[in-house]
Amino acid sequence: MWFNGTADHFLITDKIEKDTININTLFGSYDDPNSKIIPIKIHRGKQPYDLKYKTLLQAKLWATEKGEGAFWIDLNWDIALKIGMEYVGLPFSGQYGFINTKAYLPVSHMVSKSEDAVSCRECHNRNNSRLKNVPGVYIPATSYKKNINMAGTALMLLSLLGVLGHAALRIRASYKRKKLSI
Protein backbone atom coordinates (compact mmCIF):
# COMPACT_ATOMS: atom_id res chain seq x y z
CA MET A 1 0.00 0.00 0.00
CA TRP A 2 0.99 3.65 -0.20
CA PHE A 3 3.18 4.74 2.70
CA ASN A 4 4.85 8.10 3.29
CA GLY A 5 6.69 7.13 6.45
CA THR A 6 4.15 8.43 8.92
CA ALA A 7 1.55 6.41 10.74
CA ASP A 8 -1.15 6.63 13.36
CA HIS A 9 -1.53 4.31 16.34
CA PHE A 10 -4.56 3.13 18.27
CA LEU A 11 -3.82 4.14 21.84
CA ILE A 12 -4.96 2.30 24.92
CA THR A 13 -6.97 5.36 25.82
CA ASP A 14 -8.75 5.57 22.45
CA LYS A 15 -12.46 4.84 22.28
CA ILE A 16 -13.53 1.84 20.23
CA GLU A 17 -16.31 2.73 17.86
CA LYS A 18 -16.52 -0.04 15.29
CA ASP A 19 -16.06 -3.77 15.04
CA THR A 20 -12.61 -4.06 13.49
CA ILE A 21 -10.02 -1.61 14.70
CA ASN A 22 -6.71 -0.80 13.11
CA ILE A 23 -3.92 -1.08 15.61
CA ASN A 24 -1.93 1.19 13.31
CA THR A 25 -2.84 3.20 10.19
CA LEU A 26 -0.21 3.78 7.53
CA PHE A 27 -0.51 7.18 5.92
CA GLY A 28 0.11 7.80 2.23
CA SER A 29 -1.65 7.96 -1.09
CA TYR A 30 -0.95 8.03 -4.81
CA ASP A 31 -1.22 11.80 -4.89
CA ASP A 32 1.24 12.28 -2.07
CA PRO A 33 4.67 12.92 -3.56
CA ASN A 34 6.32 11.47 -0.48
CA SER A 35 4.50 8.15 -0.71
CA LYS A 36 5.88 4.93 -2.08
CA ILE A 37 4.28 1.54 -2.53
CA ILE A 38 5.51 -0.89 0.12
CA PRO A 39 4.73 -4.54 0.78
CA ILE A 40 2.93 -5.21 4.04
CA LYS A 41 1.58 -8.07 6.09
CA ILE A 42 -1.78 -7.59 7.73
CA HIS A 43 -1.62 -9.15 11.18
CA ARG A 44 -5.16 -10.04 12.17
CA GLY A 45 -6.05 -10.76 15.75
CA LYS A 46 -8.60 -10.53 18.50
CA GLN A 47 -7.75 -8.34 21.46
CA PRO A 48 -9.51 -7.96 24.79
CA TYR A 49 -11.41 -4.74 25.36
CA ASP A 50 -13.41 -3.19 28.17
CA LEU A 51 -17.15 -3.49 27.54
CA LYS A 52 -17.98 -0.51 29.70
CA TYR A 53 -15.19 1.94 28.90
CA LYS A 54 -14.80 0.78 25.27
CA THR A 55 -11.04 0.82 25.42
CA LEU A 56 -8.46 -1.83 24.70
CA LEU A 57 -7.15 -3.61 27.74
CA GLN A 58 -3.57 -4.31 28.69
CA ALA A 59 -3.05 -7.73 30.21
CA LYS A 60 -0.03 -8.69 32.24
CA LEU A 61 1.58 -11.16 29.91
CA TRP A 62 4.80 -12.37 31.41
CA ALA A 63 6.26 -13.38 34.74
CA THR A 64 9.10 -15.69 35.64
CA GLU A 65 7.00 -17.79 37.97
CA LYS A 66 3.48 -19.19 38.12
CA GLY A 67 0.99 -17.55 40.44
CA GLU A 68 1.85 -13.96 39.60
CA GLY A 69 -1.11 -13.57 37.22
CA ALA A 70 0.79 -13.36 33.93
CA PHE A 71 -1.43 -14.50 31.09
CA TRP A 72 1.22 -16.45 29.27
CA ILE A 73 2.01 -18.38 32.43
CA ASP A 74 -1.24 -18.67 34.36
CA LEU A 75 -3.64 -18.55 31.36
CA ASN A 76 -6.34 -16.58 33.16
CA TRP A 77 -7.73 -13.48 31.47
CA ASP A 78 -9.64 -12.07 34.47
CA ILE A 79 -6.59 -11.92 36.67
CA ALA A 80 -4.16 -10.94 33.94
CA LEU A 81 -6.32 -8.04 32.76
CA LYS A 82 -6.96 -6.76 36.28
CA ILE A 83 -3.31 -6.80 37.24
CA GLY A 84 -2.26 -5.40 33.90
CA MET A 85 -4.63 -2.42 34.05
CA GLU A 86 -3.60 -1.67 37.63
CA TYR A 87 -0.02 -1.63 36.49
CA VAL A 88 -0.67 0.93 33.74
CA GLY A 89 -2.98 2.91 36.01
CA LEU A 90 -6.09 2.84 33.85
CA PRO A 91 -9.67 1.88 34.77
CA PHE A 92 -10.99 -1.64 34.23
CA SER A 93 -14.69 -2.40 34.66
CA GLY A 94 -14.16 -6.11 35.04
CA GLN A 95 -16.29 -6.85 31.98
CA TYR A 96 -14.39 -7.58 28.81
CA GLY A 97 -14.95 -8.89 25.31
CA PHE A 98 -12.75 -9.54 22.30
CA ILE A 99 -12.61 -7.35 19.26
CA ASN A 100 -11.14 -7.92 15.79
CA THR A 101 -7.94 -6.02 15.15
CA LYS A 102 -5.67 -5.45 12.21
CA ALA A 103 -2.06 -4.36 12.34
CA TYR A 104 -0.25 -3.28 9.16
CA LEU A 105 3.29 -4.55 9.34
CA PRO A 106 5.81 -3.31 6.77
CA VAL A 107 7.70 -6.34 5.54
CA SER A 108 11.26 -6.04 6.73
CA HIS A 109 12.30 -9.65 6.85
CA MET A 110 11.62 -12.66 4.65
CA VAL A 111 13.02 -10.61 1.76
CA SER A 112 13.69 -12.83 -1.29
CA LYS A 113 16.91 -13.38 -3.23
CA SER A 114 17.70 -11.16 -6.22
CA GLU A 115 17.05 -14.06 -8.60
CA ASP A 116 13.47 -14.04 -7.39
CA ALA A 117 13.05 -10.32 -8.03
CA VAL A 118 9.83 -9.50 -9.80
CA SER A 119 9.98 -9.13 -13.55
CA CYS A 120 8.47 -6.14 -15.30
CA ARG A 121 5.58 -8.25 -16.52
CA GLU A 122 4.38 -9.09 -13.01
CA CYS A 123 3.01 -5.60 -12.65
CA HIS A 124 2.82 -4.54 -16.29
CA ASN A 125 0.36 -7.00 -17.71
CA ARG A 126 -3.22 -6.71 -18.67
CA ASN A 127 -5.10 -9.14 -16.49
CA ASN A 128 -3.13 -10.24 -13.50
CA SER A 129 -1.04 -7.33 -12.32
CA ARG A 130 0.36 -7.44 -8.82
CA LEU A 131 -0.69 -3.84 -8.51
CA LYS A 132 -4.16 -4.17 -9.91
CA ASN A 133 -5.74 -3.18 -6.60
CA VAL A 134 -3.54 -0.17 -5.95
CA PRO A 135 -5.79 2.85 -6.35
CA GLY A 136 -5.20 6.03 -8.27
CA VAL A 137 -2.12 5.19 -10.29
CA TYR A 138 -1.90 4.69 -14.08
CA ILE A 139 0.19 1.63 -14.91
CA PRO A 140 1.08 1.06 -18.58
CA ALA A 141 -0.23 -2.29 -19.89
CA THR A 142 -2.39 -2.70 -16.82
CA SER A 143 -4.52 0.40 -16.85
CA TYR A 144 -5.75 -0.71 -20.23
CA LYS A 145 -8.41 1.48 -21.68
CA LYS A 146 -10.69 -0.99 -23.35
CA ASN A 147 -12.71 1.61 -25.25
CA ILE A 148 -9.73 3.32 -26.79
CA ASN A 149 -8.04 0.10 -27.77
CA MET A 150 -11.25 -1.27 -29.26
CA ALA A 151 -11.93 1.93 -31.18
CA GLY A 152 -8.36 2.06 -32.42
CA THR A 153 -8.37 -1.54 -33.51
CA ALA A 154 -11.69 -1.01 -35.26
CA LEU A 155 -10.22 1.99 -37.08
CA MET A 156 -7.29 -0.09 -38.26
CA LEU A 157 -9.45 -2.94 -39.42
CA LEU A 158 -11.73 -0.55 -41.29
CA SER A 159 -8.72 1.02 -42.98
CA LEU A 160 -7.47 -2.41 -43.97
CA LEU A 161 -10.86 -3.44 -45.33
CA GLY A 162 -11.14 -0.12 -47.10
CA VAL A 163 -7.88 -0.43 -48.95
CA LEU A 164 -8.43 -4.09 -49.76
CA GLY A 165 -11.86 -3.31 -51.10
CA HIS A 166 -10.56 -0.40 -53.12
CA ALA A 167 -7.80 -2.57 -54.55
CA ALA A 168 -10.24 -5.33 -55.40
CA LEU A 169 -12.44 -2.90 -57.28
CA ARG A 170 -9.45 -1.62 -59.19
CA ILE A 171 -8.37 -5.11 -60.12
CA ARG A 172 -11.87 -5.98 -61.24
CA ALA A 173 -12.17 -2.79 -63.28
CA SER A 174 -8.85 -3.44 -64.95
CA TYR A 175 -9.81 -7.04 -65.73
CA LYS A 176 -13.08 -5.93 -67.27
CA ARG A 177 -11.25 -3.38 -69.38
CA LYS A 178 -8.90 -6.02 -70.65
CA LYS A 179 -11.77 -8.32 -71.53
CA LEU A 180 -13.55 -5.60 -73.45
CA SER A 181 -10.51 -4.61 -75.47
CA ILE A 182 -9.86 -8.11 -76.83
Partner 1 sequence: MKKVYIYKGFERFWHWTQSILIFTLAFTGFEVNGAYEVLGYETAVNVHNFSAISLIILIIFAIFWHFTTGEWKQYIPTKKNMKAQIEYYITGIFRNAPHPTRKTILSKLNPLQRLTYLALKIILIPLMVITGILYMLYRYGLNGEIHSLKIGSLEPIAILHTIGAFLILAFVIAHIYLTTTGHTPTSNIKAMITGWEELEDEDDDKKENNVNTEKNEKNENE
Task: Report the interface residues with partner 1, using CB under 8 A.
Answer: 31-36, 119-121, 124-126, 136-138, 140-145, 148-149, 151-153, 155-156, 159-160, 162-163, 166-167, 169-170, 173-174, 177
Which is closer to partner 1, CB of 95 or CB of 119? 119
Please give the Cα distance from 81 to 71 (Å, whole number): 8
Cβ distance to partner 1 smaller for residue 110 or 148: 148
Q: Which of 110/180 has CB closer to partner 1? A: 180
71-109: string of b/e by CB count within 10 Å (b at 16+)? Answer: bebbeeeebbbbbbbeeeebebeeebeebebebbeeeee
C-beta of 108: minimal distance to partner 1 in Å? 21
| Minimum distance from residue 39 beta carbon to partner 1 (Å) | 17
Q: Which is nearer to partner 1, 91 or 162 (CB)?
A: 162
Side by side, the strands of the sheet bearing 96-106 are 20-22, 96-106, 40-50
Pairing label, strands 20-22, 96-106? parallel
Least distance (Å) from partner 1 to the CB of residue 154?
9
Q: Minimum CB separation from partner 1 for residue 87, in Å?
A: 44
